[in-house]
Structure 1
Amino acid sequence: MTSHTDPHSRAPAAEAVDDRVTPFHVDGLDVRGRVVRLGTTLDAVLAHHDYPPVVKRLLGEAVALTVLLGSTLKIEGRFILQTRTDGPVDLLVVDFTAPQDVRAYARFDLERLRAAEETAPAGARPDSGALLGTGHLAMTIDQGLSANRYQGVVALEGGGLEAAAHEYFTQSEQIPTRVRLAVAEEVRPGGAASSWRAGGLMVQFLPTEGGRIRTADLHPGDAPEGTEIPETQEDDAWVETQSLISTLEDVELVDGALSSERLLFRLFHERGVRVFDAENVVARCSCSRERVMNVLASFPPEERADLVEDGKVSVTCEFCGRSYDFRAEEIVEAEGPQA
């Protein structure tokens, strides 16, 4: 799939396969990236809660973005995306456990959500920026007890998740990056339950010559009026890449009949695109009775005692909705984590 003259090239696969991440590299532009296509996995994530359609759409974007970023981990661990904002959807949490497990949930105010829908332009739905409002987005890499956590935080100021991802890479990684996200609802005939699809594309400019990665300086903020801000000339290859990405339509990212390889071929065939082995994505919650007990045991004894009602403690997983019941004596006598 690299070029017409490459003896190892082949035609892009015609069969579209959902719930996979496809890494790729475009040699002629010095860019690499990933495409994610989610179908039944996204449905399984959303099925645990009775979310309104606009919340499903927003959470679908968050899941696609998290899988794009989390699937780049080359270590065992978790990648967690979380937003805390003042909008109608004030909390999103997506948890990706390498190499393939994802779970997610959202918290929203139904009255404010309805108000946002009523004030949206006629025939349009509230965009992700209006649903999130202002606050922050945190991206955390958790490698367990054996290593420190890494966390990057960016402000959400009325923009959507794509804009937040771009800001994160500009501030934290300083790698020229573009992200595209799309979510769609497939309405089935005969009154059958609809299904949801999500797609995402991430492209990063990583030339072998480091001097070519020139990013614009951050705005000087409170610098005196008249301060000259130097202009940074972007590399021609990155300019071309952004132009190609701008031609990508949402429907292409969520088209169940269009394979990821054909999508990449449409975008980059003139420059020679190579794809690598796809990675599966599975909706799976990591909660268990033992894990919940360990969390409860980490609380101080007096707090554990306060949790007891009618002789028991009931805990419901926010991600999958599964409930766990513990007898009062189990909780009160639980031993905390050992040093």
Structure 2
Amino acid sequence: METDIQTHGEIAFAGDDRVLPFDVDGLDVRGRTVQLGPMIDAILGRHSYPEPVARLLAEAIALTVLLGTSLKFEGKLIVQTKGDGPVDLVVADFTTPGNLRAYARFDEQRLAEAQASGATSPAELLGNGILAFTIDQGEYMQRYQGIVEMKGDTLEAMAETYFRQSEQIPTVVRLAVAELIDRDEEGKPRHSWRAGGIVAQFLPQAPERMRHPDLPGGDAPEGHEGAIHNEDDSWTEAKVLVSSVEPGELTDPEVGAERLLYRLFHERGARTYPPVPVFDKCSCSRERLGEVLSGFSDEEITDSVEDGVITVQCEFCSTAYRFDPAEIRR
């Protein structure tokens, strides 16, 4: 039995903004963990989101980089929520090998009412709707999209439901966000965001060991409990260990990913692999937006002109692009 964390490849601590893959052979578990610092602070600070929206988007970002860095091809993972709550849209867009952009849309009045009443859990902010995971491998490959209803009080629970229903992979997810306030060298208040997460999946070689208890069929007679399925002991142990993670362990840079994994799995032995860096980098460009505008009619171009130019602002990175109407008409 291995009693320490072993690193494959170059030995180094992951640090901020790097996803650390790991596996635990003794439990047939694979997973990833991450602590996000400057990257997520830049994304959230760019839009000055209200605190509940910032926390929700930060969780979505942490979840997306944990899953996106597992892609083995050039492509894109998009995690998106669409609901009828005060925050009606959350999008986190990951492009391999490590570029991330994200955006949240919300109704200011409804959000203020929710904050006043204390209704700021993820379920209350998002309302009823869907959680979608889209994998795009490029223009020559068909997109794959998995969609589930947003059921559960947390984004963690919603993601676990997706993997259970759509992927049939036993999965446990933990996400956390921290808002830090300290003082700079001159004593002035300084604000920053951190986030972190861990995802673990049960992937034994024998497929029958992965079985979940059957989902309710909805048409069983009243009082019928359905077939009893005992969960695999290894997965039960892994779930208990990962579920014991405290939010501070996921965001505190003094803990770090390697120390967290040692605390969880030192009795079983965990292997870590080279960390994958992730970056705050948008995929928008002047050329791409110009192609979109070139499809506008003369009337649409005229309606878009303000102060002699057409200005297009990216919702993700807030970069403003200015175009001469004559350039678009040509």
TM-score (norm 1): 0.89
Aligned residue identity for 1:156: M
Counterpart-to-counterpart distance in 2, 1:165 and 1:135: 14
Mean Cα deviation higher: 270-279 or 129-138: 129-138
Deviation at 1:159, TM superposition (A): 2.8
Q: Residue 136 of structure 1 aligns with which residue?
A: 130
Mean Cα deviation higher: 153-162 or 166-175: 153-162
Counterpart-to-counterpart distance in 2, 1:158 and 1:112: 21
Structure 2, unmatched stretches of 5+, are none
Q: Residue 44 of structure 2 aligns with which residue?
A: 46
Q: Residue 180 of structure 2 aligns with which residue?
A: 186
Deviation at 1:9, TM superposition (A): 8.0
Structure 1 residues 150 and 299 mapped into 2: Cα distance closer, same or farther (>3 Å)? farther
Q: Residue 33 of structure 1 aligns with which residue?
A: 31
The DSSP-based 3-state class of the residue aligned with 2:153 is coil
Mean Cα deviation higher: 51-60 or 292-301: 292-301
Instruction: Check the 8 A contact 2:174/2:198 in 1, yes or no.
Output: yes
Alignment deviations for residues 268-300 of structure 1 (CA, whole Å, 9 cap, x no partner): 100111111111011111111001112333556
Deviation at 1:305, TM superposition (A): 5.6
Deviation at 1:228, TM superposition (A): 5.0
Counterpart-to-counterpart distance in 2, 1:294 and 1:227: 59
Q: Residue 74 of structure 2 aligns with which residue?
A: 76
Structure 1, unmatched stretches of 5+, are 334-339
Counterpart-to-counterpart distance in 2, 1:131 and 1:331: 40
Q: Residue 234 of structure 1 aligns with which residue?
A: 231
Residue 116 (structure 1) aligned with residue 114 (structure 2): yes
Aligned residue identity for 2:84: D
The DSSP-based 3-state class of the residue aligned with 2:102 is strand
Deviation at 1:83, TM superposition (A): 1.0
Structure 1 residues 210 and 9 mapped into 2: Cα distance closer, same or farther (>3 Å)? same
Structure 1 residues 299 and 223 mapped into 2: Cα distance closer, same or farther (>3 Å)? farther
Residue 171 (structure 1) aligned with residue 183 (structure 2): no
Aligned length: 325
Counterpart-to-counterpart distance in 2, 1:285 and 1:40: 15
Q: Residue 20 of structure 1 aligns with which residue?
A: 18
What RMSD in Å do the two structures reach over aligned CA positions?
Answer: 2.3
Alignment deviations for residues 115-165 of structure 1 (CA, whole Å, 9 cap, x no partner): 212212xxxx72211111111111111122121111111111463211110
Structure 1 residues 151 and 305 mapped into 2: Cα distance closer, same or farther (>3 Å)? farther
Q: Residue 336 of structure 1 aligns with which residue?
A: none
Residue 270 (structure 1) aligned with residue 264 (structure 2): no
The DSSP-based 3-state class of the residue aligned with 1:162 is helix
Q: What percentage of aligned pairs have identical amino acids? A: 54
TM-score (norm 2): 0.91
Structure 1 residues 154 and 298 mapped into 2: Cα distance closer, same or farther (>3 Å)? farther
Aligned residue identity for 1:230: A
Counterpart-to-counterpart distance in 2, 1:291 and 1:143: 19
Alignment deviations for residues 175-209 of structure 1 (CA, whole Å, 9 cap, x no partner): 00000000001111234331111000000000111
Deviation at 1:75, TM superposition (A): 0.6
Aligned residue identity for 1:3: T
Instruction: Check the 8 A contact 2:151/2:157 in 1, yes or no.
Output: no
Instruction: Check the 8 A contact 2:122/2:155 in 1, yes or no.
Output: yes
Deviation at 1:227, TM superposition (A): 4.6
Instruction: Check the 8 A contact 1:30/1:206 in 2, yes or no.
Output: yes
Deviation at 1:14, TM superposition (A): 9.6
